Amino acid sequence: MTYRDQGAKALADAATELEAACPDHGDAEEAWMVCHCEAAGELRRKAELAEAARTTGLRKGWRSAATRIGVSDSEYVERCDRGEKWCTGCRAWHPRADFAADRGRGDGLQPSCRIYANRIRRDRHTAKKQAVLAPPASDRSLR
């Protein structure tokens, strides 16, 4: 069982416990003074979302990433499974091999492809100034 499976199951179990201790709906002996069925419903909703994310293959943050670039969740998952990555610079899909390493990021790759990064560097490059040579020293200055 994966961590996500345990998380969804733990949320569902907590919701069941809350509903069981509800004075209006559950066991009267273990009842609390306030009905917690709304909280139990929220826990069940979170458990269903966690289960849906597990079954669709969406990882944390993928739904918002898919929305941000304007594709469906299923297309985003399909492209990621094929080994493609979205380039934030040129706003196109590229093979993961086109991205340089970046150990500080979650997937270990830079957000823009090498082609785009090199083009930006070339455009921003300024030529170095030529060194100014001093005029030749006269004979008098050598004495």
- pLDDT 10s digits, 71-127: 988 899 889 889 999 999 999 999 999 999 999 988 899 999 999 999 999 999 988
| Tens of pLDDT, residues 3-46 | 344 566 776 777 777 777 666 665 555 545 556 667 777 777 77
**At a CB cut-off of 8 Å and minimum separation 6, what does 118 contact?**
none
Phi then psi dihedrals of residue 134, to 5 deg: -75, 150
Q: Domain range spanning residue 21? A: 3-58
Q: Is the pTM of this model over 0.95?
A: no
pLDDT over 50 at 2, yes or no: no
83 and 35 within one domain:
no
Does any domain span residue 139? no
What's the domain count of the chain? 2
CATH of the domain at 89: 3.30.60
Q: Is 118 left (phi over 0), alpha (psi -120 to 50) or beta?
A: alpha
Same domain, 79 and 125: yes
Residues 6+ apart with CB under 8 A from 63: 53, 73
Better pLDDT: 58 or 16: 16
Residue 67 lies in a domain: no
Q: What is the pLDDT of residue 143?
A: 54
How many Å apart are CA 78 and CA 74, to the nearest integer? 6
Please check whether residue 93 lies inside any domain of the structure.
Answer: yes
- Look up residue 19 and give its amino acid: E
Quote the pLDDT of residue 110. 95
Return the residue matching tokens 């944390």.
Answer: 60
